[in-house]
Structure 1
């Protein structure tokens, strides 16, 4: 925490510790350092006590500011049974160096129309898919950090396709998954898997866990399935810097998937009309991959670029 180049520390439920250094592309694992489950739980409970709350079945997540050695730290803790093993802890110290001002500069050397760049990627994805190069199209989708909605009916392979997409993600990325039951099983070493409970009235719903996940420094968020209020939170997440995320939805066509997503968002009480919400959904999701099943075979039936 005292090192000036460290901007985030994460303790995963498996006990591995990861840090983000200023200017680094990905987090790095701290070698020869693991946190025992008992120590992880004690640390999480100490953070909760400092924030002034107590963990319970209804409240398995804690977020707030703590202070250590005169350093203000934003802390996010997620406790079992949402995670398996120890606690998931993310710590972001706020270090103010009054003697060093950061001068703004152009990231790409020139101003870039990011929406136009996404449209170019989308056109190339469609070209590859129409040529039968679906795997290459999906690799470009992952590399370009497109936000993907995987749509299909029952038993069309939505979860299997999500696993395939995860397999294309850089092994060094930090992945957070939110599922009712563990199904996608990321192979990335820096992974935190959250188990949601849709029957819960507390903080274990997919929507509440998604809000907590945003403070866990994810590179990508994988949401198992959109079914309720988490739809709005997911759109907000991918609009505030968590691009490259994906989720699944039940629908018969790609267009109907967007319609169904809009209806879900409206049901959260957004206070907007259907057409307005639909435009918001279309402006947030980059790609809808429609899966289908015919004569026992499953595959990609359509790809809709928005």
Structure 2
């Protein structure tokens, strides 16, 4: 039974804040979820409940117990923090005031571009340092529209990012490694091109490795054998070969699982750890790792394109 008074999850971690590693807390609030709710890989809306303003505040208060001492707090809603139908304006402002009074240096939230307007931004940026994450996924309108069904254009993203920056906020851009419909090699190229295209609009870029969530269109493709989550080696390739002026980070959620990004099963743990270490240090030396399965990955890249993107291993 999902309780409207309890958050989905709360955990402590470490993150980059102005190029320094700091203590962080991540909170996932249970709201009614994303109004768009049509992206082929996303199952987060299944966590949603019809939470009232009082319910969301109760969730936040219970999460604060774990946030003490954190310089950076990330609050996600499985949708858009700036959507008033998910998080009422009064709730947003109470959350920000509480975090400011606790001494939190930066808040990270997420929103689709259509909810990013001047009024909402002036309210939140007048209270504290806020970084707004936007799930761009790919800089290609073709990929985003026809393979992901994201529902907005690159121009929509760029306009929202420009508005955030004009008012003194920060932009965190999320990119998706291996949307359905791309081969592994195409996915690597798409992620690297998207990082270059998004860089002028971003203060930090997060590479999200696609995983197979339940009751999604992507799950049905995976069950039919026409989709494989990305290799961890593909993430290593993107992180090592991209040359950006902003930090490029990655948290390989679900690494090693069949539904998550994985290699051979032997090296998954240490490759995922290397990716996390790179994300904190931005040092490519963290990615000087190897495994016998790397040659299999290279051959898979080559042969998948010849088999029209059908996963081979």
TM-score normalized by structure 2?
A: 0.27
Query: Which of 1 and 2 has greater Rg?
Result: 1
Q: Which structure is higher in helix share?
A: 2
Which fold has the larger relative contact order, with Cα–Cα distance below 8 Å and residues 6 or more apart in sequence?
1
